[in-house]
Structure 1
Amino acid sequence: MDTRQMAWFVALGETLHFGRAAERVHMSQPAFSRRIAELERDLGARLVERDSRNVSLTPAGARFLFDAREVLARFEAACRDARLVALGEKGELRLGFMMHAAHRLVPRLAGLYAERRPAVRLILEETTPAEIEVRMRRGELDAAVTFLGRPDPALEALPLLRDRLRLAAPEGHPLAGRERIRPADLAGEALIAAPASTAAPLREAIEGWCAGLSTPPRFAYEPRLQQTILRLVAAGLGVALVPGSICDDRIPGVASVALEAAPQLDVVLLVARAGANPAVAPLVELAADFRGG
């Protein structure tokens, strides 16, 4: 049995007339009558009562009509959804992002994407830059917002914006009132930063900016998350060099100060070059809009 047989019977059940039903499905009446008889034999149940004037449904026929309509509606919906998913207009998109992007970039990106693809379920997964790279290679994420790292032939990095590092210092700290901070100002300071195993581009930028100091700052604490770093700064346990994007909001107990010749970090949209999810395409288009804007 297939959906064609169901469609033939639905035509008969709705018209209760073999001639009109046959015409609806573009079949001759004798051929149509044979198909209905074959359906009844396959089911082992009589579906219609007929005489020279009238056609009526048996109880089994009425039930089969109800169920067949439901099955056909689901089948049509399945076909429609398959086409929409293939076009990237429905389905799911798993977007990973680092915490630095959560303040302004990801909310804006998610909002614009939802406008373009309202039927696509956008699954947002916050994690670290190092984990993003691993999960992208495994195919566990369709795309990700992260720092530009080392080239990977399987992944394409599309520029989104450029972030500058700033100093985060406890309020009342001698450096908190400065207009601009030079590397020499950090000599001997307790520095709080994520380890290279969590965010290699960020750690390299921090170490590079401090590289010329005769007395380099010591890394007193190395938490993985920037939010934890800011809390430690607020508690007076040290200072930190953090992306300016996470300093947009006022952080209680923390002052943000510009750096002289501040290191810049490229924030990118990472996608698989051989990605199979068509819902990624509109996200790639948005990345181009970000670059243009």
Structure 2
Amino acid sequence: MMDVKPLRYFVMLAETLHFGQAAARLHISQPPLSRQLAALEQSIGVKLIERNSRNVTLTVAGERFYQDAKNVLNTLEQAVHNARAVAAGEAGVLTIGFTMCAAYSVIPRYTRLFSAAWPDVTLQLREVVSNNLLEQVRRGDIDAAVLLPSEDEQGLNTQTVVAESLCVALASTHALASESSLAITQLQNEAFVVAAESAASSLYAAIVTHCQKNGFNPNIRFEVQLQQTVLSLVAEGVGIALVPASMQKAQVAGVRYLPLDNAPLIEQVLAWSPTNQNPCLRGFLECVGS
């Protein structure tokens, strides 16, 4: 590849049309400048400069070479800037996976903070079923994930990012919809709609355990994969649900949310691989910690 130093020398001469001025700006003496430019002309086999005792001018070929040389140097400078930005995590692509619960709790805030702090990083968001998220993190398909805690977190770094109460979701036409809050014992004869254990094991366990601690096993009528489906079924009056409080932001028509007395807390964690080499991840972790 051609040494770019002769290009820089030629561009400086083309912009000053004076060997003395060009040499001074380049912080060299005139003889090495003259040698470099002569070698440049010889290497490309074209005369670029016309010089006499009074004037320095560019040939027609020199004028065109000047424009192209400037473009090459600008492109190189941008390439260096881009490489340094990517290495520093200031540019590039960061992919974050999350479950529907996170969509209504922390993901909007993290997206705003990260996009403001790192505007040149492309942030890709993937909403998926949680039972596949940790494997995607391990494979490197995604850089990090916000999800409900799981027993399958071995080998990953995790950080709790939110802890929120469960609340009761029920149809707005339900007989209990006019209450200001509910005790779990008031729901012992209700049909429950839940996110399946395979999709949200910690949430499933929290619901069952809370019911059992209060003297009954929940009558689980439907198990589904997504919280949105849970709420859609609740809206149709086929059952009630216990959902994280942030799910109230979903604003599903026909669903009323009520506080649950002595409700258990549901955590969500951020998980990432300690071997992840994406420098953009550091900026995201800083936003999470802010």
Give the structure-2-normalised TM-score. Answer: 0.89
Task: Please list, as runs of the form range in 1=range in 2, the aligned pairs for 1:230-241 lying within 5 A after superposition.
Answer: 230-241=231-242
Query: Matches of 2:28 and 2:91 in 1, distance apart?
Result: 36
1:200-246 C-alpha deviation (Å, 9 max, x unpaired): 22222222223468873443333222112111111122222211111
Query: Matches of 2:266 and 2:148 in 1, distance apart?
Result: 7
- Give the RMSD, CA atoms, in angstroms: 2.3
Contact 1:148 1:157 survives alignment (8 Å): no
Query: Matches of 2:203 and 2:72 in 1, distance apart?
Result: 55
168-177 vs 135-144, which moves further: 168-177
The answer to whether the aligner puts 1:258 opposite 2:254 as a matched pair is no
Query: Matches of 1:202 and 1:3 in 2, distance apart?
Result: 61
Q: Which residue of 2 aligns with 1:176?
A: 177
Q: Which residue of 1 aligns with 2:223?
A: 222
172-181 vs 279-288, which moves further: 172-181
Gaps of 5+ in 2: none
Contact 1:166 1:262 survives alignment (8 Å): yes
Alignment CA distance shift 1:98-1:81 (3 Å): same
* Equivalent AA in structure 2 for residue 245 of structure 1: S
Task: Please list, as runs of the form range in 1=range in 2, the aligned pairs for 1:131-280 lying within 5 A after superposition.
Answer: 131-150=132-151, 152-211=153-212, 216-248=217-249, 250-280=251-281
Query: Matches of 1:215 and 1:148 in 2, distance apart?
Result: 25
Task: Count the aligned residue pairs.
Answer: 289
Shift of 1:248: 4.0
Q: Which residue of 2 aligns with 1:35?
A: 36
Instruction: Say which SS state the counterpart of residue 196 (structure 1) adopts.
Output: coil
Query: Matches of 1:32 and 1:201 in 2, distance apart?
Result: 72
Contact 1:143 1:272 survives alignment (8 Å): yes
Query: Matches of 2:108 and 2:214 in 1, distance apart?
Result: 38
Query: Matches of 2:135 and 2:220 in 1, distance apart?
Result: 26
Contact 1:186 1:216 survives alignment (8 Å): no
Query: Matches of 2:17 and 2:102 in 1, distance apart?
Result: 63
Instruction: Say which SS state the counterpart of residue 69 (structure 2) adopts.
Output: helix
Give the structure-1-normalised TM-score. Answer: 0.88
Query: Matches of 1:244 and 1:214 in 2, distance apart?
Result: 24
Give identity over the alignment, percent: 39
